[in-house]
A and B are shown apart, each in its own frame.
Chain A
Amino acid sequence: MTVAFYIMAAIAVLGAVMAIALRNVVHAVFSVLLFFSALAGLFILLLAEFIAVVQVLVYIGSVGILMLFAIMLTTKVTGDPTRKLLSRGWAWGGLVSGALLLAFLVPLITQSKSESNSQLSNFNPSVKDLGLTLMDPYFASVGVIALLLTAGLIAAVVAASSASGE
């Protein structure tokens, strides 16, 4: 388990770093996808099957493709090679962001360590449970989101049809 976690985490970090460091935009997007898939693996390790599936379905299958599609419509895939990727003072920036990250993470980690297993024991990660939870206590928010998305869809259709035909 731990070995798998470290492998996945390493892949995720690698993907994230490459996404920033690579010059070729398409390569960068693919490293983002690599990061996403490593994340999906991590979710599976956490027994969060559904989240993992959604990660793959939505982030890799749709968001990633959307990014690729957008890039395909651009002309310059490779950026200007003469320009440096790192600006001056990157060390300071890295230091500050690292400190912030630690500041957020450390309390969380210590908290989860101290947390008793009692809370975890009645936690059921199955998809059915998730569905029931979404449909019962959180129905209002799900409904609102669904309405919003439908409205967005209809708006898109209207926009598309008025753009093409008179």
Chain B
Amino acid sequence: MNNFIDYKLIELGQWTVGLFNDYPVVQILVHLLLATLPLTLVFMGAFGFSTWLERKGLARIQNRLGPNRVGIFGLLQPLADGIKMLLKEDIVPDRSDKLFHFLAPVMLMVPAFIAVGFLPLGDGLMALPMDSAILFFFAVGSLNTIAVFMAGWSSRNKYSLLGGMRAVAQMISYEIPLVLSAVAVIMFSGSLNAQEIVASQQIQSWLASGNLVKEFFGQILGWHIFKPWGFAGFIFFFVAALAEANRSPFDLPEADSEIIAGHLTEYSGFKYAIFFMAEYISAFAIAGIATTLFLGGWSGPVIAGLPWFIIKMFSLFAVMIWIRGTLPRLRVDQLMGYAWKFLLPLAILNIFVAGFYYFAEQQFGSLAAFIGGWVIGFGILQTAAKGLSRLNKSPTLDGKRVYQLVE
């Protein structure tokens, strides 16, 4: 097998735990630390790196240079930012709800880190190896909403409250297509276990064949994104994930040109930094779960395991940055309309397509199902999408737009 990095890491962990065989209590503690600490540190580092990546990427998209002063290529910029944030005054509005104002960033960060624990980083590399990890992930993800609401409400600021309301409305709406598009995958794999879902995306018979070429492609071709329902599901999932993570073009809760910074308006200093970090880590987590569900998780040729997972997760994050550099923000009604009138019906339809695909695979073999699925299944989805967009078209936009010039 070629995912030796994962096995080495697991071996290392077992060896470390084995050191404390004589002290059972310490051993449990060490076990816990081993499961959580590296994850926390790695993802915090990834957060720092990704802020740099985002600023650089956006800068290049906008024909700028981006941070380039601190360290080589500005790589130490996140560190400088962190220090700056730490040194800043922590301002709590006078009439705010002090307790909740303090709790909100914590409430946001804890679920974000728990969610990261449910990611299958590699073969057997999972901080919280639970049977229904995917479900847990979504459950924990829904806690974000409460934290954002807390922040918005406790600040006693109209912009904060507006941002909080927007966030709540948006997150509730987009959670449904998010989970529904994941349901197709869960149905197809027949498991809520993240590792099993990843395994279902590897063509096991090819992997076991011993043929190098077959092994190579067996790690790729089984990804759900290559199936018609998987492709559509991935798009729905990704769009909903953008909304869940408050990323552009769905960054209405913190729309800076409309409501200053939404629920973040009254936050400063380190609390703001924590908010920022939690948001990035949620974005990572959701990119990771998209990787697990649709992009084959840690499976991949040659260096299967942790490296592939990280590559895929960061690529998805890079796409998020790219989208942020491209698309303008949606309007509130467009946002809700898109979730309820477009994504939701299509996601439900996608579940049916996945079900039929599953039976077609069992009846006619995988190749026939593949071709038939792309022609028929994707055709159905396509037509449905067309029909929906026609239905949803607002009547005022029919025909040519007329602009009235101001005299």
Contacts and interface: CB of A to CB of B under 8 A. Distances in A.
Chains A and B touch (C-beta atoms under 8 A apart) = yes
Interface of A: 26, 30, 33, 49-50, 53-54, 56-57, 60-62, 64-65, 68-69, 72, 126-128
A56 B140 CA distance: 7
Given A65-B168, A72-B161, A127 B132 contact: yes
A26 B152 CA distance: 12
Interface stretch (B8-16, B141-149, B269-277, B368-376): B141-149
Contacts of A56: 139-140, 142-143
Interface in B102-150: 130-132, 135-136, 138-140, 142-143, 145-146, 149-150
A122 to B, nearest CB: 18
Contacts of A50: 132, 135
Contacts of B146: 33, 60-61, 64-65, 68
B259 interface: no
Contact of B136 (A53, A60, A72, A128): A53
B305 to A, nearest CB: 26
Nearest to B141: A61
Contacts of B100: 30
Contacts of A30: 100, 150
Given A68-B168, A69-B168, A128-B191, A61 B132 contact: no
Contacts of B150: 30
Interface in B160-199: 161, 164-165, 168-169, 172, 175, 191-192
A57 B168 contact: no
B298 interface: no
B168 A49 contact: no
A127 B135 contact: yes
B153 interface: yes
Contacts of B97: 26
A69 B173 CA distance: 13
* Interface core residue of B136, B138, B164, B169 (most chain A CB under 10 Å): B136
Q: Closest 8 CB pairs between A and B?
A: A61-B142, A56-B139, A57-B139, A127-B132, A53-B135, A53-B139, A65-B145, A127-B192
Contacts of A126: 131
Contact of A62 (B153, B161, B172): B172
A126 B264 CA distance: 40
